[in-house]
Every structure is written in C-alpha cells, then in structure tokens.
C-alpha cells in the first residue's frame, strides 16, 4: 500500500471508531477535532522529518568528554529551548554547573530545560521527560551512512538519535504544534523537562528534580517518558516496569607486577585461576543465579501476570533470527518474557588486567578484576543483594585456600521500577493507541534499567508511564540507528490523541 494512503486509512479508521463507538471505544473524543489534528500531522510530516534532520545534524554526544561535543550539546539545548519558546512555552534553562573528570579536567554540564505550556487549574498537567544527548557514532564503525546526516531509505530514517531520543521528543513537540497551528486550546497543561546528559548518567539531574519537587513539579499530575522501544516491529506497546542493576567488581591480587609463566607457573596461587573460579560460581549453564538467597525477595508470580505475557505478540522465530542467535535458554514466549522482565539475571562482562591482545604471551597476571552485574526485579533490594553477593564470593574464595587478596565492590546500585497499570494515564495511553493504531497495546516491561522512571516516582510521587514510539529493530546505541517514518508520524498522532484522552479522564 502507498504510505500516504496507509496514513489516510489510519486517520479514517480513528475517526470511524470514534463516531461509531465501535469495538475499540466506548467513549467519545471530539471526532472533528481529532480528524483535523491527524490531517494536519499528515500534511506536515515532511516538515517534521526536516526538523528531525536538523536536530540529528547536531553532534550532541555526551559520552565523550571533549569540548567540541560539549559545545554541540549546548547548541542542541539552545535549539530545543528556542523551539519551545516559539510554541509559546515559558522556558527556563537551568545552569547545571560543571563536571569534574577523573583526569582533573572540568567540563560544563549542558543546561536542563524546564518548560511550561498552560496553567489552567481545571485541566490535568502532564510532564514529558526526554533527552537530546546521544551515544558516540562514527561512520567508520560500521554505519552505512553518515550518522549525523538523516538519511531516509525505504521509509526508515537513519541517524544517531533518531529513536534515542530526539525523534520521540520531537513527536511530543509536533503534537503540541498541531494544536497550536489549528488555534485549538491544549486539552491539558503540558510541562517539559529535557536534559542533555542522560547517556552519561544524567549528571546532577536528581538534585535538580529534588530541588524543583515543590516548585516546577508541584502542579504535575502525571509524568510521561518515551525512551525505549516496542517489543515488535509493528505492534505498539506501553511499558510499566524496568529492571534495576547492581554492578560489581571482584579484584584478586597477588602483586602489582605480572609474572613469567615459565619462572613462576606451578608454584603460585594464580589470580586469574582464582577469578575464573569466582566468576564460574555465580551462575549455572541454564542461567540460574547460584548466589544463596538471591531469589528470596522476587515478587511471586500471579495468574493475572501470566495472562499479560500470553497476550503479548512476540514471534519467537523472528525474535531469534533478528537477534542472530542459534538458541535461547527457554522455548516458550512466556518463559522468555518472564526471564527478561520479572526474574533477575546475572551477566559477566569482562576481566581487567588480563592479556587480551592477538598473539601468544606467556604471562601470569599479578592482579585481575572481574566485572559482572545483576539485573534486579521487584521486590529485590540493592543493599541486600550487595551483602548476598559479597558473602557468597567470600565463601567460595575461602574454600580455595588462596594466599591472594580478594576485594568485592558494588560500583552501581539502581532499583527496579514498576507502576500501577490501572492509573489514569495508562488507561488514556491504551485508548489513544486503539484510536491511532486500531489495536490493543502490548503491556510490557523493559529488561534494561531506566533510572529516571524510578527517580521521578520516588521524588515527585506521581504516576510515571513509558510510551515508546520506536520499533524493536531500531538499534538504539548501535550502528545504523533508525526510526521508521511511520512510527515517528503515527507516534505524533498518538501523543495528540493522548492529550485528548487525558483531558477526558482527568
């Protein structure tokens, strides 16, 4: 089908569903307004793509701490602030100070944008969080096109930041602009918090949110994040939970210098042998974590939860093929999803200090550091997990009777997040998805960690929802990152319909 005809059909479907109160809808949004908004979005989609192209061209890399990229980040935030001001928003660019780097260098942190549109006390207030910084990208790393030149191929918009997170941020802004252009009142009050350091750990953001808790966030009813992906290529999703993460290092040391294996091999407790034994004691071949007590606090599985997994559309064969793996640990959709989302997992990431270059080097490392992490799920506690892991490794190490020294450290501890899917904005998001896509959304969790969701929930004490726009194959953080034009434009309609649904339900 011609893409334009497809978009017109989607708009027509939405209007018919609303007019007839069909199988997807028992309520009634204003159909004339919705049709106007959708039509406006379709007619102006090339402009929306052009704006995304301009934003992608700004190399707003927050990961590489060099002045040129910091200048680009400041430019990106200024462009976004100007865009919001032209929509009539009241914009504050908050100075975030500077970042001290391990080498003693100091770099300025890009400002955080706080913006407000509307302050009608009779309306609900929705706050959108997004980020405009990106992961590093270089064409020489395997990109088929210049990562900072938006390139459309077969309806796919390739470029760094297209799906993570410039595209979704612009989709929200585009939805607002449609109401503004049609001289329609916004159905809800809208606030924005947009940062430029998410990929580098959201430096200083938590302190700002805490400071603004009773000011900028005081009137906020709901918080929306769009910074993850669907679980399929064509079926939309709503995300209501993410796993946490505890990252560990385990260091085994004999001395500062390495040894020659011909001179010392056979008479030492070798640090690498100790470390391999320690890492090998953490997880078995079926993925089961061997740390005693680690599963004690995992939330019990309910029948309702199992039915949620059954309802999700996931083609296991397609998923396996797109992942380019021969076999997963589990054979059913439900088992795969549960072990990605609701059970903890342990991954071993690497060994520092070991010989890893090409060739043969007969060295015994004098000191090695193993790195691994555990993805946490409700209701696991970071500090409890830290104690369990430390105790387990100490027990394993003591049984080896090694003369080496071992030190276990948890370098990162992020709690899991889960929301109440019966909250108003979850219902509004479901209804908006039915209107735009003509289907029920997949209700999903994310196996990775999105600390910002937990942070907002704990500090601001408001309902948080993740409404992803990107397809499962968008390749965020990877080479050839993209967002489909269809996802970008229909996602803009989704946010517009969401505003109207929130107005009805608030």
- Tell me whether residue 303 is annotated as binding: no
Tokens representing 128 are: 């959108």
- Print the SS3 string covering 311-341: HCCCCHHHHHHHHCCCCCCCCCHHHHHHHHH
How many other C-beta atoms are found inside a 10 Å radius of the C-beta of residue 221?
17
Both structure tokens of 194: 């947009």
Q: Give me Rg for the CA atoms of the chain.
A: 25
**Residue 315 annotated as part of some ligand binding site:** no
Does the annotation count 212 as an active-site position? no
Question: How far apart are the C-alpha atoms of 63 and 198, rounded to whole Å?
Answer: 9
Classify residue 37 as left (phi > 0), alpha (psi -120 to 50) or beta.
alpha
Among the options 195, 198, 442, 474, which is catalytic? 198
Kindly write down the DSSP assignment for every residue of 23-71, as one continuous string: TT-SS---HHHHHHHHHHHHHTHHHHHHHHHHHHTS--B-SS--HHHHH
> Is 227 annotated to bind ligand?
yes
Q: In the structure encoding, which two tokens stand for residue 387, read together?
A: 């104690």
**CB crowding 346-382: b at 16 or more within 10 Å, else e:** beeeebebeeeeeeeeeebbbbbbbbbbbbbbbebbb
CA angle 230, 235, 236 (to 5 degrees): 55
Q: How far apart are CA 260 and CA 283, in angstroms?
A: 31
In whole angstroms, give the CA distance from residue 465 to residue 328: 30
Residue 416: strand, helix, or coil: coil
Exposed, middle or buried: residue 58 (CB in 10 Å: 0-12, 13-18, 19+)? buried
- Structure-token match 């069909």, residue found: 22
Reading phi first (left if > 0) and then psi (alpha if -120 to 50, else beta), residue 337 is in alpha
Active-site option among 133, 274, 442, 476: 133
Is 477 a known ligand-binding residue? yes
Tell me whether residue 379 is annotated as binding.
no
Q: What's CA 163's distance to the chain center, in Å? A: 10
Encoded tokens for 232: 């399929």
Query: CA 480 from chain center: how many Å?
Result: 18
Spatial CA neighbour of 225 closest among 238, 210, 212: 238
- State the binding site for Mn(2+): 131, 164, 199, 227, 477
Residues forming the active site: 133, 198
């Amino acid at each position: 089908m011609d893409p334009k005809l497809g978009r017109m059909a989607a708009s027509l479907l939405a209007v018919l569903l609303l007019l007839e109160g069909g199988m997807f809808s028992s309520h009634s949004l204003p159909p004339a307004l919705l049709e106007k908004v959708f039509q406006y979005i379709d007619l102006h989609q090339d402009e929306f793509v052009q704006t995304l192209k301009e934003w992608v061209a700004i190399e707003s890399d927050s990961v590489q701490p060099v002045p040129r990229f910091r200048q680009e980040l400041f430019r990106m935030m200024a462009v976004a602030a100007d865009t919001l001001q032209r929509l009539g928003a009241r914009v504050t660019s908050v100075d975030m100070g500077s970042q001290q780097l391990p080498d003693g260098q100091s770099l300025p942190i890009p400002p955080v944008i706080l913006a407000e549109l509307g302050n009608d006390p009779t309306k609900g207030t929705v706050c959108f969080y997004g980020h405009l910084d990106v992961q590093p990208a270089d064409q020489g790393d395997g990109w088929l096109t210049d990562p900072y030149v938006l390139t459309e191929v077969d309806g796919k918009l390739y470029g760094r930041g297209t799906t993570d997170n410039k595209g979704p941020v612009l989709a929200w802004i585009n939805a607002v602009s449609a109401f503004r252009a049609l001289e329609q009142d916004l159905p809800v009050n809208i606030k924005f918090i947009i940062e430029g350091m998410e990929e580098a750990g959201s430096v200083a953001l938590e302190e700002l949110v805490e400071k603004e808790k009773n000011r900028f966030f005081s009137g906020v009813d709901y918080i929306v994040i769009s910074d993850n992906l669907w679980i399929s290529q064509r079926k939309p999703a709503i995300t209501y939970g993410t796993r946490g993460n505890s990252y560990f290092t385990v260091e085994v040391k004999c001395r500062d210098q390495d040894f020659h294996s011909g001179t010392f091999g056979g008479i030492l407790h070798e640090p690498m042998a100790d470390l391999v034994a320690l890492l090998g004691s953490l997880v078995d071949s079926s993925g089961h974590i061997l740390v005693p007590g680690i599963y004690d606090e995992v939330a019990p599985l309910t029948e309702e939860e199992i039915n949620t997994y059954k309802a999700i559309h996931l083609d296991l064969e397609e998923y396996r093929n797109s992942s380019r793996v021969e076999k997963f640990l589990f054979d059913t959709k439900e088992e795969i999803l549960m072990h990605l989302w609701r059970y903890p997992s342990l991954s071993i990431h690497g060994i520092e200090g070991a010989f890893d270059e090409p060739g043969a080097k007969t060295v015994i490392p004098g000191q090695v550091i193993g790195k691994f992490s555990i993805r946490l799920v409700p209701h696991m506690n970071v500090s409890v997990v830290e104690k369990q892991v430390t105790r387990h490794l100490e027990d394993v190490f003591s049984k080896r009777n090694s003369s080496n020294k071992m030190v276990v450290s948890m370098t990162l501890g992020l709690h899991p997040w889960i929301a109440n899917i019966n909250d108003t904005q979850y219902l509004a998001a479901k209804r908006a998805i039915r209107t735009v896509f003509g289907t029920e959304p997949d209700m999903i969790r994310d196996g990775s960690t999105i600390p910002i969701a937990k942070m907002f929930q704990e500090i601001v004490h408001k309902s948080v929802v993740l409404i992803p726009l990107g397809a499962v194959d968008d390749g965020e953080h990877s080479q050839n990152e993209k967002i489909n034009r269809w996802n970008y434009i229909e996602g803009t309609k989704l946010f517009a319909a969401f505003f109207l649904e929130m107005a009805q339900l608030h």
